[in-house]
Structure 1
Amino acid sequence: MRRLLSLLGLIGLTMGSSPASSEISYQVLSFDQLDGWDKDDHDAALRVFRNTCIDMYGPDWNALCALAHDMDDGRAFFELMFRPVLMEDGQEMLFTGYFEPELEGSRYPGGRFRWPVYRMPGEAQNRPWLSRREILTSGVMDGRGLEIAWVDDPVELFFLQIQGSGRIRLDDGSVVRVGYAGKNGHEYRSVGQELVRRGVYQSHQVSAQVIKNWVRRNPVDGQELLFHNPSYVFFREVSEVPAELGPLGAMNRSITPMRSVAVDPDIVRLGSPVWIEKDGKGPMRRLMIAQDTGSAIKGAQRADIFVGTGDEAGRRAGRLRDPGRMAVLMPIQRAYALLPESVQ
């Protein structure tokens, strides 16, 4: 899911730009130095790796992908063909979580289904186009057949735009998945930061759920708060992905809950296995695959874990903000090529 912002971006706690590669230090580790490595389900990680390795370029990656489809022993595959590399840029490790929202909706307006999910109109490609307020109050979208569906909650629709994709469970029992199609060209403004600026909350109190609750308690002021963000996202139907599979990641393949992670692609190659040592509440030691990106995910020690779909996944993702360590598994020759000659 090519998300516009992670939950951190929503509340205004984004990281800075990626450091230059010359500012990153590299340390090749042994698998014995990975805490909990021997206890993970490496076969599960291998299955996820297979999903996207076919889209990685380079003779070594092509050979590894072919081998991955021939081997059944995940641990043996990763230990034989990779070496863990700890990459550091002076920033503390930060793990966060993201999820795929699931909304209630209908193909037709009426009753509680009053808020449209729009396709992108052609003139919106001439950016910047109209602001969020203008799109929703001027009538410019009316009568053009641009509605994919109507949903029952404008606040959840706003958060669907933040995540950039999601599922809509329709009143006829079917499910439609929507993905990012484009936006109106206006810069995103954090509604969480705006609540802090107004003195409603302190920065440590702001979360996605806090914002949702405040908007619902204050419908008039809440609508104005959402208008504070002039950016508006349009969607497309993602019919090529069955509803039972995960959403599309940055590699245009379905991602897997608790095995797919978003990284900074300027530092970590998409498709690479990454070893996660998440501390804090609910420590996690797990091999994941870097299959997604996010505009708030910048730096060598920065990762966003895909938690899953729906409200419970959203609550879990919103609570995830922990320190730890991440090592990238690289093909052996690539790993050692990163080291200075003095330590090779």
Structure 2
Amino acid sequence: MNTRSKSWRHCLAWSLPMVALLAGCNGGSPEKPQPHAVATYVGATWDSLPAVSDNDLLAGFASWRSACTRLKADAVWGATCAASASVPQSAMAVRDFLKQNLDVYGLRSANNTANGLITGYYEPVYPGSLTQTATANIPVYGVPEDMIIVALDSLYPELKGKRLRGRLEGRVLKPYDDAATIETKGVKAPVIAWLTDPMNLQFLQIQGSGRIQIADGRQLRIAYADQNGHPYRPIGRWLVDQGELKKEDVTMGAISDWAKANPTRIPELLGSNPSYVFFTRNPESNEGPRGSLNVPLTAGYSAAVDRKVIPLGSLLWLSTTRPDGSALVRPVAAQDTGGAITGEVRADLFWGTGEAAGQLAGDMKQQGQIWMAWPKGLALPQVPQVTDPVKTNP
């Protein structure tokens, strides 16, 4: 969730939220989509938005402006970013700038409701080693040498961003190994680090990036590099299907507790998710992980969104609650994406690095509202029509 220059993942988030432990791809019988119109953006005024503190306003604006280095030539945000460079760090100046340069729109879901799902993600830190040891023996693989990647949009422009991944057997491109095969037989890929717990590797793949704590005190930063092309299937859903957990009880902590109590069944659990993520090593730094815009994420003020609804680089006004029920109202920057982050009123808030951030992210499954700030005079994004699945006759 992390940092991510993901081109495409089969229902796998670059920065998957904790809810992705349970939510997954749609399946079942063949379906025929039936389009219908949806009112996604509803005009609002700045004065009608829920109030935010000056500190949250400045932090959210700074997070948004941090991506302007990547948006200088952007058709939507280039001019607004250029104008923002001269805005002083005062709440009054920021409010004036927003009102003068941006209009604001409330987001609505397909059934025209204002509330949607707000989840969280984070950058985990797990113990490990640069070399294999008796305790650190779970490999973190880089991109396999024998994996072939086919960009489908090179032949079919309508499949922009879609890629196939596989391995050549003779002259035939076959699907690449699934996670269970990789975990039992290995893969022709460099090992960039070793972890002490197979569950840590699974959670690292769900989050999309993280840090590995080395014994000498250093932290190795790793990030998503690619994926094996298989669909993501939530391990939390498998536990529910097995009757091991109730749906409402699925959290990262609950899954970890189950794994500790059932160590012999961990391979079965992990094998239920055929998706496998490969990583790359990032330079050591104290900045946040990089999102889809390739800028460091800001803890509490960067979010992953559905880019079909909210273009990357947008400034959002978020009104939700923390897991403890306290109000959370602030501007946040749309700087990341994820395969599980879909829908008109949907955001995944980045909480930061480490255990405390992980606790917040793991518990964050709140209802909330989102408003999108948009440059004055520019046409709103063209959102694809929402479809109602209607099963075809057998």
Match of 2:329 among 267, 285, 288: 285
Look up the match of 1:101. 124
Look up the match of 2:317. 275
Q: Residue 23 in 1 paired to residue 11 in 2? A: no
Aligned amino acid, residue 147 of structure 2: A
Whether the 8 Å contact between 1:28 and 1:335 is mirrored in structure 2 is no
Look up the match of 2:79. 63
Please provide the CA RMSD for this pair.
2.5
Instruction: Summarize deviations over 1:257-297 as a string: whole Å, max 9, x none.
Output: 00101111001111111000104612101011100111111
Larger % of strand: which?
2
Q: Residue 318 in 1 paired to residue 362 in 2? A: yes
Deviation at 1:160, TM superposition (A): 0.2
Taking a change above 3 Å as real, the CA distance of residues 188 and 336 of structure 1, as seen in their structure-2 partners, is closer
Pairwise mapping of residues 21-60 of structure 1 onto structure 2 (< 5 A)? 22-37=37-52, 39-56=54-71, 57-58=73-74
Whether the 8 Å contact between 2:15 and 2:336 is mirrored in structure 1 is no
Aligned amino acid, residue 81 of structure 2: C
Whether the 8 Å contact between 2:138 and 2:196 is mirrored in structure 1 is yes
Look up the match of 2:103. 83
Does the residue aligned with 1:149 lie in a helix, a strand or coil?
Answer: strand
Aligned amino acid, residue 271 of structure 2: F
Whether the 8 Å contact between 1:102 and 1:311 is mirrored in structure 2 is yes
Identity across matched positions, percent: 35
Q: Residue 189 in 1 paired to residue 233 in 2? A: yes
Look up the match of 1:148. 192
- TM-score, normalization by structure 1: 0.89
Look up the match of 2:224. 180
Inter-partner Cα distance in structure 2 for 1:184 and 1:110: 26
Look up the match of 2:23. 12
Taking a change above 3 Å as real, the CA distance of residues 315 and 60 of structure 1, as seen in their structure-2 partners, is closer
Question: Displaced runs of 4+ in structure 1, greater than 4 A?
Answer: 13-16, 19-22, 57-60, 335-338
Does the residue aligned with 1:54 lie in a helix, a strand or coil?
Answer: helix
Inter-partner Cα distance in structure 2 for 1:318 and 1:84: 30
Deviation at 1:332, TM superposition (A): 1.8
- The count of residues paired between Structure 1 and Structure 2 equals 332
Q: Residue 257 in 1 paired to residue 257 in 2? A: no
Q: Residue 129 in 1 paired to residue 176 in 2? A: yes
Larger % of helix: which?
1
Deviation at 1:59, TM superposition (A): 5.1
Q: Once structures 1 and 2 are overlaid, which stretch shifts more, 276-285 or 303-312?
A: 276-285
Aligned amino acid, residue 100 of structure 1: E
- TM-score, normalization by structure 2: 0.78
Instruction: Summarize deviations over 1:151-182 as a string: whole Å, max 9, x none.
Output: 12211111101111111121121122111111
Unpaired runs of 5+ residues, structure 2, are 5-13, 28-33, 149-164, 167-174, 383-394
Does the residue aligned with 2:85 lie in a helix, a strand or coil?
Answer: helix
Does the residue aligned with 1:330 lie in a helix, a strand or coil?
Answer: strand
Inter-partner Cα distance in structure 1 for 2:136 and 2:185: 20
Taking a change above 3 Å as real, the CA distance of residues 295 and 332 of structure 1, as seen in their structure-2 partners, is same
Match of 2:308 among 261, 266, 277: 266
Does the residue aligned with 1:67 lie in a helix, a strand or coil?
Answer: helix
